[in-house]
Amino acid sequence: MTRFRIAIDGPSGSGKSTVARKVAQRLGYLYIDTGAMYRAVGLKVTREQLPWDQPDAVIEAASRARIELRAGPHGLRVILDGADVSEAIRTEAVGQAASRVSSIPGVRRILVRAQQDLGRRGGVVMEGRDIGTKVFPEAELKIFLDASEPTRARRRFAQNRDKTGALDLEGILEEIRQRDRRDRERADSPLVQARDSLYLDTSNQTVDEVVEKILKMVQVVEGKSGSG
Ligand code: DC
């Protein structure tokens, strides 16, 4: 049976991670969270206090970073230079740092190549911003997940580990707007919907409803490719 590449793109808080993880579980596919890779680089640059205004220093850090994604019993673990940073990368500050490093083309080149290697053999659900447009433009199935701004802010608020920080829902909403603007307006691989992707608004749908819709699409694609 053909093992497909499933690309799931969308803005932050659209439900990508939860949905992608579940779809991968149901299919027995590998789940790859590419945002975690940008977050790991963002964390490294922050920890090493590298100058943000010098892209070469950031690119050099990205090329030195050893990033591993390990499937564990409690979900995906993210290992940076040998240390587990799964929790440390989930703060809003690291999210902003990730968004900044991700606008540097040299950083994207390094991470995109690593992502293409991870998905080369198929059997992956990969989520991010540019998977259907750049990493795997030839993916067998492309989904673009979206949700209203208030919904996305609420989800992000629930996910953040730094709840004790100053950010309330309003603050998160503002950060989401900023980050989305940067992700959509950057010159290299901005967040755009691939023309051949399926658009799903998840604002009023449960995770399971979205997962079922995607699994049905997988069956349709399997039928078309004659491998079902
Ligand atoms: O999905 P996330 O919030 O964990 O992603 C963190 C940042 O990384 C996000 O602001 C944009 C960037 N990113 C990207 O540019 N391309 C990807 N494929 C994934 C994430």
Residues 111-120 have pLDDT tens digits of: 999 999 999 9
Nearest to 133 by CA among 175, 95, 184, 96: 184
User: What's the total number of domains in the chain?
Assistant: 1
State the residue range of the domain holding 115.
Answer: 5-222
Other Cβ atoms closer than 10 A to 57 = 14
CATH of the domain at 46: 3.40.50.300
In a domain, 91, yes or no: yes
Say what the pLDDT of residue 158 is: 78
Let me know if residue 228 belongs to a domain.
no
The pLDDT score that the predictor gives to residue 12 is 86
Whether the per-residue pLDDT at 105 is higher than 80: the answer is yes
pLDDT of residue 227: 59
CA distance 66 to 83: 10
Mutate to test the pocket of ligand 1, among 76, 94, 129, 186 (most ligand atoms within 8 A of CB): 129
Mean per-residue pLDDT for 34-53?
A: 96
CA of 34 to the centre of ligand 1 (A): 7
pLDDT above 80 (res 2): no
227 within domain boundaries: no
- The string of pLDDT tens digits covering residues 209-221 is 999 999 999 999 9
State how beta strands 67-72 and 5-9 pair.
Answer: unpaired
In the chain, % helix, strand, coil (3-state, to 5) comes to 50, 15, 30
Q: What is the mean pLDDT of the chain?
A: 91
> Residue 31's pLDDT is what?
95
- Alpha-carbon distance of 191 to 129, in angstroms, equals 5
Average pLDDT over residues 12-39: 95
Alpha helices in 28-104 (DSSP H): 34-47, 55-64, 92-101
Mean pLDDT in residue range 136-141: 97
pLDDT (0 to 100) of residue 170: 85
Q: Pick from 8, 32, 34, 86 the residue to mutate for probing ligand 1's pocket: most ligand atoms within 8 Å of its CB.
A: 34
Amino acid in position 193: Q
Angstrom CA distances, 180 to 32, 105, 111, 126, 201, stand at 21, 18, 20, 20, 16
The answer to whether the Cα torsion of 169, 174, 175, 180 is positive or negative is positive
| Banded pLDDT at 135 (limits 50, 70, 90) | very high
Pocket of ligand 1 (CB under 6 A): 12, 34-35, 38-39, 95, 98-99, 102, 128-130, 179, 183
Q: Does 101 map to a domain?
A: yes
Residue predicted with more confidence, 162 or 189: 189
In a domain, 201, yes or no: yes
Distance separating the N- and C-terminal Cα atoms of the chain: 7
Position 123, amino acid: G
Q: Of the residues 5, 9, 38, which should be mutated to test ligand 1's pocket, given the most ligand atoms within 8 Å of the CB?
A: 38
Give 164 or 186, the one with higher predicted confidence.
186
Q: Residue 163 — pLDDT band, cuts 50, 70, 90?
A: low
Closest atom of ligand 1 to 38 CA is 8
Q: Is residue 212 part of a domain?
A: yes
Task: State yes or no: pLDDT of 86 exceeds 90.
Answer: yes
Residue 48: how many CB atoms within 10 A of its CB?
Answer: 11
Whole-number pLDDT of residue 191 = 92
